[in-house]
Amino acid sequence: MLPKKILFCADFSQNSEPARQLAVEFAKNFGAQLLLIHVTNPQLLKYPSLEDLPLGEVTLEDIQKKANETLETIAQDCRRDVAEVKTYLSLGVPAQAIVDFANEECVDLLVMGTHGWTGLSHMLVGSTAEHVVRMARRPVLTVWCCGPTKC
């Protein structure tokens, strides 16, 4: 089965960049539609995309506006290689929202980065990618990145 709908899960971190590149390459080579999703967890206000917002004044509306701008910038870049790119914003627990969206849209392949955390930070926070892999009933490609250097 060749994927016709590929979902890239964007958390806007540098670690997700290799996953985005793979999602674009797959979509381009398979002639697939590329869907980009970012899920904002309203309980957590720490996002790489919010570095330029003053923390004391951040509202959910500010977060969504910034996320939409960042997602559209990523989409424009993807459109250089992929004919059909769509963006989606969601609110909620990221892993559950990603799996629900993938089911609703009948996505053939999910592509997402993973930070490769281990130890206490992983136990306390958990891994969105790990939860998606456990819950999704469709193929998930997780791309591990070793950090800000080239992988």
What domains, with CATH codes, occur in the chain?
A: 5-144 (3.40.50.620)
pLDDT in tens, 18-47: 999 999 999 999 999 999 999 998 776 554
pLDDT in tens, 109-135: 999 988 655 544 444 445 888 889 999
What is the reported pTM?
A: 0.83
Tell me, letter by letter, the H, E, C secondary structure of the chain. CCCCEEEEECCCCHHHHHHHHHHHHHHHHHCCEEEEEEEECCCCCCCHHHCCCCHHHCCHHHHHHHHHHHHHHHHHHHCCCCCCEEEEEEECCHHHHHHHHHHHCCCCEEEEEECCCCHHHHHHHCCHHHHHHHHCCCCEEEEECCCCCCC
